[in-house]
Structure 1
Amino acid sequence: MPSLKSLLGPMRVPFLLLTPACVALGVATAYWQTGHLSGGQVLLVLIAALAAHIAVNALNEYVDYKTGLDLRTQRTPFSGGSGTLPQQPNLAPAALRIGLISLAVLSLIGVYFVALRGWQLALIGVLGVLVIVTYTPLITRVPALCLIAPGLGFGPLMVIGTHLALGGSLSAAVVVASLVPFFLVNNLLLLNQFPDVEADRSVGRHHYPIALGRRRSAVIYALFLGLAYLAVVAGVVGGVLPATSLLGLLAAVLLPPVIRGVLRYADDLPHLMPYLGLNVLLNLVTPVLVALGFFLAV
């Protein structure tokens, strides 16, 4: 029997921190709008969101191992998978089961909330499952879809889904707030593709670092990073977001060095690594700060 530690590998547990950060934003917008929360429902939403993240991770690990990509990838702390299956090939069926069981957990909790809140959540849930199932085998072969699918999953789908599940109604505020992780998480996956260009190309993947090159993709990265914070400013100026959500801009102090570093070292992977780390920090801290701004506004 595989050990618990080995089973955690395909889940990519260290990367799961992104999920509560994004869920926190949806929880905050729901509380700001409704003035109340159910602790039990918040916990269920978090479990569903973690199940979604685990599912896409485990299925990605399984497919990448089966296609041979894991054997060609030079792993970094931020890219290239967990390395579990190349080291323990016997765990491949377990990784597939983890992905499928996680999808089942997500679906069951989703059915509960759809029955509780209505059809809008069903649309979000179906689209979310579709993104999870098609991400590795299909979406990663279409540059435009590969660019926006991660942000769609962790931004509008997760944030708005959380907001609706907790009793909020669709509003401009939650849509604008969801744009913050939309742009940031798109960038997270975009930048993490830089070290994998050659390996990904060899198995038929086709994302922008392959299609346009790393330097041009770095320009997209810089644009998306600016748009993430511009969404907050525009939301406050337009009267859609509370002024306290500008707390999210505290993280923007990292923007100048990160953008300069990514543009300068796009093709210099050893020197690029620290900026991949700072990019992860932006993804974790910014949604939490914006969420805190919503809570302070209540």
Structure 2
Amino acid sequence: MAGRWDWLGVIRGRFLVLALTCVALGIAVALQSRALDGAFVADALLVLLGALAAHAAVNALNEYGDYRSGLDLRTERTPFSGGSGTLVAAPQHLGRALGLGLGGVALTAAIGLYFLLRQPALLWQLAPLGAAGLLLVVAYTPWLTRRPWLCLLAPGLGFGPLMVLGTQSVLAGQLSTSAALLALVPFGLCNNLLLLNQFPDIDADRSVGRLTLPMLLGRERAVGVLGAQWLLAFAGLLLFVLAGWVPAGAALGLLGALPALRAWRLLRRDGESPDSLLPAMGLNVAVSVATPLLMAVGMLAF
């Protein structure tokens, strides 16, 4: 029985918490205009299931594609990058990885279609968000990883505007300006999450024809992009709160700037040494996951 479910490692379960925190932010915004009741909770759980399915799908398809291309056999895995190693250890689960990925895409699409049929007035708001999200899931590994600037923006677009706005619009019945502004924060943070995780994989990615931003710009200039995105995310959040464009409680997310600053200093000191890079990658994960959750908690508590 030991190892019976090891094949589920391709969904990288411990990283799915990122989808949960981004959905939590969308829920917090929606609760500004809709009462918390049983119907709201049921809808929120269904939205969360769709978000988790989408995140699991992109992870599984990424593992499938990376093993098929040979990348998994060349990558030096870290606790934060390089995939799960599931298929390297058990290549017989390759078909299951593909099935999980396609099944996640199908489940996400079905949930989105359900909300569209139930709220046809939102067709022109939800349909583009859903279509863009599904396209990102399917196209990320085979296509976007060969286009460095699109590859940079894809994670933030998926977890920021698409996930936060999609959640808020489904639950509140309309898109809000505050949701659009708040979604820009995880947009920048999640871009950085994948960008920094590409640092250890430069040689392996190059060997299979990928072209990522650290390969295009070099590590030093890529660290500059990381710093710029952290700065824009947190300075933008501060501006939105001070201007009264978003609920004041969202300012709790500014606490995420502290580990981001520490990560940036480590990378500026030495972006290649494991002694600097691995702690910075851990801090980067913490920033990306915790900041949307802190924003949501702040909005609900204050």
**Match for residue 177 of structure 2?**
172
Counterpart amino acid of residue 280 in structure 1: V
Q: Distance in 1 between matches of 2:22 and 2:67?
A: 28
Give the match for residue 61 of structure 1. Answer: 63
Q: Deviations over 1:59-111 (max 9, x none)?
A: 00000000000000000001100001011110001000000111111011010
Residue 142 of structure 1, aligned match among 147, 150, 153? 147
Report the CA distance between 1:116 and its aligned residue.
2.2
TM-score (norm 1): 0.96
How many residues were matched structurally? 297
Q: Which residue of 2 aligns with 1:77?
A: 79
Paired amino acid for 2:258: V
Matched residue, 2:231? 226
Which secondary structure state, in structure 1, belongs to the residue aligned with residue 31 of structure 2? helix
Aligned twin of 2:11: 11
Q: Which position in structure 1 is the counterpart of 2:267?
A: 262
2:207 aligns with 202
- SS where residue 153 of structure 2 aligns? helix
Query: Which residues of structure 2 form unaligned runs of 5+?
Result: none
Distance 1:92 1:112 in 2: 30
For the Cα contact (< 8 Å) 2:33–2:172, is it kept in 1? no
Corresponding residue number in structure 2 for 1:28: 28
For 1:174 and 1:137, the matched residues in 2 are separated by: 31
Aligned position for 1:249: 254
**Is 1:49 aligned to residue 59 of structure 2?**
no
* 1:133-167 superposed Cα distances (whole Å, 9 cap, x missing partner): 00000001001100000000000000000001112
Q: CA separation in 2, counterparts of 1:294 and 1:49?
A: 21
1:110 corresponds to which letter in structure 2? G
TM-score with structure 2 setting the length:
0.95
Q: Distance in 2 between matches of 1:91 and 1:140?
A: 24
CA apart distance, 1:285: 1.1
RMSD: 1.5
Shift of 1:169: 1.8
Local SS of the residue matching 1:32: coil
1:110 corresponds in structure 2 to 112
Query: What amino acid is the match of 2:108?
Result: L
Q: 1:47 to 1:2 in 2, by over 3 A?
A: farther
Tell me which amino acid in the other structure corresponds to 1:272.
Answer: L
Shift of 1:247: 0.8
Matched to 2:53, the amino acid is: A
Change (3 A) 1:49 1:2: farther
**Stretch deviating more after TM superposition (43-52 or 109-118):** 109-118
Identity of aligned residues (%): 49
Letter in 2 for 1:211: L
Give CA deviations for 1:251-294 in whole Å, capped at 9, x if unaligned.
22223321111122212234310110011111111101111122
Counterpart residue number, 2:88: 86
- Match for 1:101: what amino acid? G
Q: Which one of the candidate residues 203, 212, 216 is aligned to 1:211? A: 216
CA distance in 2, matches of 1:183, 1:168: 26
When residues 49 and 156 of structure 1 are mapped into structure 2, their CA distance, relative to the original with a 3 A threshold, is same
| Runs of 4+ more than 3 Å apart | 1-4
Larger deviation, residues 36-45 vs 276-285: 36-45
CA distance in 2, matches of 1:115, 1:74: 46
Does residue 125 of the first structure (1) align with residue 125 of the second (2)?
Answer: no
Provide the C-alpha distance between the structure 2 equivalents of 1:47 and 1:2, rounded to a whole number of angstroms: 28
Shift in CA distance, 231/4, structure 1 to aligned 2, threshold 3 Å: farther
